[in-house]
């Protein structure tokens, strides 16, 4: 499915994300805490358009459980999907047309293979604004079972900054394109897909961080602090 973005940072207070993208904050009793190391199969803040046309920020599970899954525990649950093929894959074809979302993050992590092992880098916007990752969401429901709302993050080919680390990168929605990306009534799948392209490298920055981020059990602001390896992107 184009796996690439497997860890991100969402440590900003949710009402700040909501303000940045002009969304209503829909609180939840089990809403996620502030995290510097968000891993798959946990809940994260996601913005989407409601049936009534409002924009809301709400927690969803990372790892898409499609509506047609017989057993969510046995479903594949992709965390990423390639933007080049979402229009043709049965799991995503309907979602790119009617269930688009963005995941506001402070940054994401990617790893570089070195002779000494995998070295993590933290990638963020050059101006430190929230980064808006393009995603798709779905709702699974069966009889008396608790409904599951989940999402996947779309990926594009890498820009020149990310290319030394990986050949894929998360699809990032420009804030100026946010209305068009989330407007599923006026913008069809083809128009939305046209917004997905490698984000300009000059608007991003990245630097090496502690290997402690390699474990999803580790948390805290020190995970996004630069470490001196002599290597920069």
Domains of the chain: 8-224 (3.90.1680.10)
Q: Which of 216, 93, 65, 233 is nearest to 149 (CA)?
A: 65
Mean pLDDT across 216-233: 87
| Whether 139 contacts 149, CB under 8 Å | yes
pLDDT at 210 over 80: yes
Higher pLDDT, 217 or 232: 217
> For residue 57, which of 102, 97, 96 has the smallest C-alpha distance?
102
Residue 232 confidence class, pLDDT cut points 50, 70, 90: low
Where in the sequence numbering do the catalytic residues fall?
5, 110
Q: Report CA torsion sign: 180, 127, 129, 100.
A: positive
- pLDDT for 9: 97
Which positions ≥6 away from 55 have C-beta within 8 Å?
21, 22, 23, 24, 47, 48, 49, 182
Give the model's confidence band at 3: pLDDT under 50 very low, under 70 low, under 90 confident, else very high.
low
Task: Kindly indicate the confidence band of residue 1, based on its pLDDT and cuts at 50, 70 and 90.
Answer: very low
Q: Given this model, what pLDDT does residue 145 score?
A: 82
Give all strands (DSSP E) within the chain, no chain letters.
Answer: 8-10, 24-25, 35-38, 43-49, 55-62, 80-82, 100-105, 107-114, 117-125, 131-140, 148-157, 168-170, 204-208
Residue 5 pLDDT exceeds 90: no
Does the pLDDT at position 108 exceed 90?
yes
Q: What's the confidence (pLDDT) of residue 154?
A: 97
Segment 55-66, tens digit of pLDDT: 999 999 999 999
Question: Alpha-carbon distance 139 to 229, whole Å?
Answer: 43
Q: Please report the pLDDT score of residue 117 as a whole number.
A: 86
pLDDT of residue 27: 78
86-104: per-residue pLDDT in tens?
989 989 999 999 999 999 9
Looking up tokens 């680390």, which residue turns up? 165
Contact 170, 144 (CB under 8 A): no
pLDDT number for residue 116: 83
Which phi and psi angles does 224 have, rounded to 5°? Answer: -105, 10
Structure-derived torsion over alpha carbons of residues 169, 175, 181, 184, reported in degrees to the nearest 10: 150
Q: What percent of the residues of the chain are helix, what percent strand, and what percent coil, each to the nearest 5?
A: 15, 35, 50
Angle in degrees, CA 150, 156, 157, rounded to 5: 150
| Helices and strands, counts by H and E, the chain | 4, 13
């Amino acid at each position: 499915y184009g796996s690439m973005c497997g860890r991100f940072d969402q440590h900003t207070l949710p009402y700040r994300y909501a303000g940045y993208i002009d969304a209503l904050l829909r609180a939840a009793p089990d809403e996620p805490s502030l995290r510097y190391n968000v891993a798959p199969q946990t809940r994260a803040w996601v913005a989407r358009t409601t049936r009534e046309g409002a924009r809301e920020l709400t927690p969803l599970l990372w790892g898409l459980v499609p509506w047609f899954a017989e057993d969510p525990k046995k479903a594949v649950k992709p965390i990423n999907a390639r933007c080049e093929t979402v229009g043709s894959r049965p799991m995503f074809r309907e979602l790119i047309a009617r269930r688009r979302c963005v995941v506001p993050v402070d940054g994401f992590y990617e790893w570089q293979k070195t002779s000494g092992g995998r070295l993590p880098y933290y990638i963020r916007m050059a101006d430190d604004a929230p980064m808006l990752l393009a995603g798709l969401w779905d709702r699974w429901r069966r009889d008396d079972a608790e409904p599951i709302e989940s999402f996947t993050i779309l990926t594009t080919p890498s820009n020149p900054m990310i290319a030394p680390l990986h050949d894929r990168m998360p699809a990032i929605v420009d804030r100026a394109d946010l209305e068009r990306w989330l407007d599923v009534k006026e913008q069809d799948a083809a128009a939305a897909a046209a917004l997905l392209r490698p984000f300009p490298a000059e608007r991003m920055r990245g630097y090496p961080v502690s290997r402690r981020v390699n474990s999803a059990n580790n948390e805290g602001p020190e995970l996004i602090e630069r470490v001196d390896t002599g290597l920069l992107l």
